[in-house]
Amino acid sequence: MKKLPADQQVEFLRKLVEHNIHAIVEHEDQVSIKCDVMPARVVFSVFVAPSDIGLALGNDGATADAIRRIVWTACKKTDLRCDIDFVTNGRR
């Protein structure tokens, strides 16, 4: 599998996270994603409306785990590892 150029890797993953979150929540306009980039790792903090946190996490975290698996699989096209945190009202 061909790796993405280094300057495109974080943006590729951010768009993937954003696309999946927007497909799930009801208040798309209240979604924001913060990226913390470290050497060989990126952490996405996904902020959603309080009423959407249940949709973003799913039963027992099943939806959140599915999104993480999709993104972790896509990481194979990059040189990065990533974590995704779901945040509402400043709480993880």
Residue 2 buriedness (CB in 10 A; 0-12 / 13-18 / 19+): exposed
Query: Would strands 81-87 and 41-47 be described as parallel, antiparallel, or unpaired?
Result: parallel
Q: What is the pLDDT of residue 92?
A: 57
Residue span of the structural domain in which 47 resides = 6-87
In a domain, 92, yes or no: no
In a domain, 1, yes or no: no
Domain count, the chain: 1
pLDDT tens across 23-76, in order? 999 999 999 999 999 888 899 999 999 999 999 999 999 999 999 999 999 988
Q: What is the pLDDT of residue 89?
A: 67
**CATH number (domain holding residue 81):** 3.30.300.20
In a domain, 34, yes or no: yes
